[in-house]
Structure 1
C-alpha cells in the first residue's frame, strides 16, 4: 500500500493523520520486517474504528473501504477536481497526472488485505469490505451524502482501468461537484487561522418544501421566480422577506434551497456578528460552480448599531462588484431593518412639498439594496382555519372539523395568537395526543 500511495500527485497531499496515510505507514513497517505485532495491531484497530465512525455517520454500506476511498476523491479540492467541476473533462496535460492518480486509486480499490490480516492475525479488513449497516433511516443525519458516496463507490468498483475510473470521477465532478459544496445543501461558517472562513455543513436541515407552507401563494411565486432566474444564470435580485413572526419567512428560504438544490443552489447562513467576514466569504466562493444564497435570518439593527453600513457596502456599492453566483436573502420582522426614532426627523428640511431627512434616508437605504421585498403578514381567522385544516389532512388526523377548529381556537389563545407557526405547533400537539 505504501508504494501505491507514494505514486499519488494530485491527490497526494493528504494530512498525515488521515486513515489512508496511517494504514500506509502500518504497511510500510510491516514490510520492513522490524515491527511489534501488538503495536501494529493496535494501530490498525484505531484506523478501523475511525472507518466505522465515518461509516456510521454517513450510513456507508457493503464495502466501507471503497466508500472511504470514494469519499476522499469527492472531498479533495485540488486544481484538477475544481476545474472539472467548472468545465468538465477537457484535454490538457493535467489529465496525465490525474489518470496516474486514478490508476493508483484503482489499485487501492483492489488492494488485497490478506497479507496484513495473516501477519497480525486479524480479520477486521474482511469485515469492513463486506459490511452490513444498520438499516435505520432516522439515524442518517445526511442521507444525501450517503446516497451519493455509495452510488459513486459502486460505479468505481465496476471500472476496469484508469480510463474508465477517470471518466466516472470527472462526470461526477461536473454533475454534482467536489468537496463539501458538492454533497451538502446548507452551511454555517466560522473563522479559522489567517482570517479565512471554514464552511461547516448543516447535516440535519429541515426537508420542508414550499407546498408545506399553506397559503402565501403570491409570496412564494415571487420567491420562486427570482430564485429560478438566479440558478439559470439570469439577472436576479437580493431578497428581503419581512413581516410578522411565525408567518413562514424562514421556512420559505429553507424550502427554496431544498427545491433548487439539484440545480446547484447552496445556502450559507451568516449571523450579524460575522458580517466582517463577508468579504472573505465571498472571495472563497465566487469562483465555484454553484449558486450561493447568503442567508441572514431575523435581520435587524438597533439605533446604536453601525454594522448595517458595512453590509450595505457589501450588498451593493463597494468597489468590487458582487459576483453573479451570489445573492443575499434575508428575513426580518422590520420592513426597514433599522430601528427608527422620532429624533431621526429633527433634521427634516421642508420646502413646499419636498421633505428630506439625511438620517432617515441613511437608515432606509439598506432595505432599498434588496431588489425584491416580500411581505408576510399574519393570516386572518379564516386563513388560520384553512392552514389548520390542510395540515390536519396531510397528517391524517382522525378528528371532526368542528372539534379541530374548536381546539385550534383554544390553542392560539394560549400560544401567541394566530400564525402559521401556531397552526403547525397545534397540529404537532394533536399528533402527539393521538
Structure 2
C-alpha cells in the first residue's frame, strides 16, 4: 500500500491510543472521521473503493451540518471534554496534579495537535488513492471562527496552564457547553437558545439593578451572596434583569438553572449536583407563589435556610413574584373561636406571611409611571436607531400603552418592536 496511506493508518492507531480524550470522537463528526480513516486503509489495488467515497461524503456532510471547520470542531470538543484531567484541574493547581495525569494530557494533546494540522486537501488526495478513482473529492475549507489559545499555538503540549485556566472558569461538559440549563426528566439539560437580553437594554429601575449586580459579583468573587426575591408589578423587567445577568457574566463562570414551580421539590437535589462545581449558579424561579403549604414550599425553605447539610456557597436563588406574600392566605387561615381550630393558628399565619423574609434581599419594582415608561421607550428607540421626532415617538408610545397593556417595560419593548417593523415595511 502507498506509504502516504500507511501514514493515515498510523494516525488511526494514535487516535486509538488516546488516554484521556477518547470521548472527543464519540459524536457524529468524530465517528465519521474514524470510519473514513478505516476505509482509506482498507482498499484493493484495482477495485474502486466505494466505501471510502461514501465515508468521506458522510464526514463532509456532518461537518457541513455543524457549519464549522474541522479545526474548530476539534478544539470545541477539547474545551468541552469531561475527563479526569479537566475535572481535577478545576479544583487543584496544575502543580498538585499527579505527574501521570500531566503526562497523559500532554500525550493526548500532541496527537490531537497532529489531527488539527491535517490539511483537508491531503485527506482528499488520500481518498482518491484509496478509492482508486481519477478525481479528488471536493474540499471546502470553512474559516476558523475561533481564536482561542489552542488556535494560536503550534505546540499544544505547552498549553496545559491555559487549558487548565479555561476549565476552571468555564467548566466542562454540559456546564461548559451551555450557560443556561433547566431541570427536566430528573436531570439537567442545556438550553440551546437562552434569552439574549442584555443589561444595558434595561432602564427604569436602576437602584434595583445595581443592587442585584453587586450581589451577583459577590457570588462570582466567592463571597457570601444573598438569595433575592424580585417582587413587583408585571412587565417591570424582573425576569429580564436576571437573564441579563447571565449574558453579562457567563464568561466569568456564571450559570443559570431554570426551575419551574412544579419542580421545587427537586431543588435540594439540584443544588447537591452542582455544589462541588467551580462555576457559580443562579437557581431561577419565575413567578413564584404557593397555593398552600406544599412540598415545593418546604424544599425551597431548606435551600434558603439550610438544613443539616451545609448551604452551597456557589448557589443563590433568584425568584420573581407579583405577590409580596408568596403563600396565599385565606380568611379561613385566621384564628376563630372554635375548639377545633389549631391552638397556635396565628403562628401558622405568620409562617406563611413571613416566607418572603427568608430571602436575604427583596427588591421591589413599583408600577411604571409615565416618566419611567417614556424613558424606557426613549432608551430602546435609541438602541435600535429609530429616528422619529420626540413628540411623535411619545405620542405613539402613549397611544400604545392606552390601547394595550398599560405602562411597563414589557409594553415599551412590545411597542418599539412593532414600531421598528412598521417603519421598515413603510420604507
**Partner-residue secondary structure (3-state), 2:287:** coil
Structure 1 residue 338 and structure 2 residue 323: aligned? no
| TM-score (norm. length: structure 2) | 0.84
Distance 1:162 1:427 in 2: 49
**Partner-residue secondary structure (3-state), 2:22:** coil
What value does the CA root-mean-square deviation take over the aligned residues? 2.7
Deviation at 1:110, TM superposition (A): 2.8
**Partner-residue secondary structure (3-state), 1:223:** helix
- Length, aligned pairs only: 398
- Contact kept in structure 2, 1:27 and 1:116, CA below 8 Å: no
With over 3 angstroms needed to count, the CA separation of the structure-2 counterparts of 1:396 and 1:188, relative to structure 1, is: same
* Alignment match of 2:59 (pick from 22, 37, 47): 47
| TM-score (norm. length: structure 1) | 0.83
What does 1:20-419 align with in structure 2 at a 5 Å threshold?
20-33=30-43, 37-54=49-66, 56=67, 60=68, 64-91=69-96, 92-93=98-99, 94-111=101-118, 112-113=122-123, 114-120=125-131, 121=133, 123=136, 126-127=139-140, 130-132=141-143, 150-152=146-148, 155-191=149-185, 195=186, 197-209=187-199, 211-303=200-292, 305-346=294-335, 357-419=346-408
- Contact kept in structure 2, 1:336 and 1:367, CA below 8 Å: yes
Distance 1:16 1:392 in 2: 47
Distance 1:429 1:190 in 2: 34
Deviation at 1:250, TM superposition (A): 0.7
With over 3 angstroms needed to count, the CA separation of the structure-2 counterparts of 1:167 and 1:33, relative to structure 1, is: farther
Deviation at 1:313, TM superposition (A): 1.7
Alpha-carbon displacement from aligned partner over 1:258-299 (angstroms, at most 9, x marks no partner): 222232211111112222432332222212211110111111
- Contact kept in structure 1, 2:32 and 2:58, CA below 8 Å: no
Runs (4 or more) in structure 1 with deviation over 4 Å come to 13-17, 121-125
Distance 1:298 1:4 in 2: 53
With over 3 angstroms needed to count, the CA separation of the structure-2 counterparts of 1:337 and 1:5, relative to structure 1, is: same
Runs of at least 5 residues in structure 2 that lack an aligned partner in the other structure:
1-10, 339-343
What corresponds to 2:7 in structure 1? none
Runs of at least 5 residues in structure 1 that lack an aligned partner in the other structure:
134-146, 350-354
With over 3 angstroms needed to count, the CA separation of the structure-2 counterparts of 1:25 and 1:170, relative to structure 1, is: same
